Chain A
């Protein structure tokens, strides 16, 4: 007599458990974790170089850098003066929550993660599977360069649907291309009407102010200043009264 058990678990439950565990750490450390994803060559590392350089006075930051076989990107970012932990994924085409957990342990040997405001996870260049493998991030950022074609958001809708913020990169190249940037933006909004869409160029610096404004607002929303939270001020008050 065959038996049947109803399971109802997510197929990726094992990864999700680890991702939730990572996120609990991020929350305890009061930092914002961003998962940055795109196809190879869309400009993730170039954008990070610019943002790390411009924001390093404002935020304490570190990077977990996913790369299939090399540490070239990690070396580029380390040159900016921000701690970078390379995660070489080998054959895997995405980072998963266990790899990020391993990266966090290595990072913990170099600094106290609780001292960070912002943790960047630069995923492996791929528009397909990173969308399904959470690593514990608070927000997903997807990049799409203007050279990739106007239809990319419709061809890889799961990735662009999952993103909280989509950056259209390399806009300094627009004068040399036969591409309609409004059409790209429009296609993103068809599959994800609620995400933020920001046009940037890491090369010219155009749009970085808007992108950094999004980062500041997201950080403020995710990690509210401790003096502003009611429970903490009550606790402080209580400890003063008890003192």
Chain B
């Protein structure tokens, strides 16, 4: 399941982003991804591994939200944009041309992070109402011991 390695890559980038907010530890609510249909990524598997890997870490309780982008290509002879289908061998329906220029569907992007910063003046740090975030475990590194 390569989504585990992909999630570890994602966590490394988020770790770097977290460093920028030092000394504060941002409370991440949602991480937005864009994942194209013409990639080897199964979004459901990515959400599943996210839940498993962030549990007990500074990202515990955060949500991974994935926006999928469809595969679109441009037919070179006529310039029309079309949705390539496996059943049609990805050829354009207008000119029966092979899939040359891909317009979308190859995205694998971290789009944005929704978060809040705990008020350092107050003690204990303010957390969202109803959040079951285990504050003590928040500094655990979810990628400790990872190869990457």
Do the two chains belong together in a single complex?
yes
B115 near A2 with CB under 8 A, answer yes
Q: Does A72 contact B (CB under 8 A)?
A: no
Decide: B110 and A154 in contact? CB cutoff 8 A.
Answer: no
Contact residue among A2, A7, A129 (Cβ-Cβ distance under 8 Å from B2): A129
Cβ of B91 under 8 Å from chain A: yes
Least Cβ distance of B114 to chain A in Å? Answer: 5
Task: Give chain A residues whose Cβ lies under 8 Å from the Cβ of B63.
Answer: none
A94/B90 in contact, CB under 8 A? no
Q: CB of A214 within 8 A of chain B?
A: no
Bound Cα distance A118, B33 (Å): 37
> In the bound complex, how far is the Cα of B115 from the Cα of A30, in angstroms?
46
Among A11-19, A170-178, A221-229, the stretch in contact with B: A11-19
Number of A-B contacts (CB under 8 A): 114
Q: Name the contact of B40 in the complex, choosing from A9, A15, A131 (C-beta under 8 A).
A: A131
Q: Name the CB-closest residue of A to B115.
A: A3
B98 sits at the interface (CB 8 A): yes
- Most A CB within 10 A of own CB, among B40, B86, B99: B40
A193 and chain B: residue at smallest CB distance: B98
Per the bound structure, the CA–CA distance linking A11 and B29 in Å amounts to 18
Complex-state Cα separation, A199 to B5, whole angstroms = 34
On whether the beta carbons of B116 and A2 are closer than 8 Å, the reply is yes
Q: Which residues of B contact A (CB under 8 A)?
A: 1-2, 5-6, 8-10, 12-13, 17, 26, 29, 33, 35, 38-41, 86, 89-91, 98-100, 102, 108-117, 147-148
18 contacts between A and B (CB under 8 A): A2-B116, A3-B116, A9-B110, A11-B35, A13-B110, A14-B13, A14-B148, A92-B2, A93-B2, A94-B2, A96-B147, A128-B40, A131-B40, A132-B6, A132-B40, A154-B89, A158-B40, A190-B90
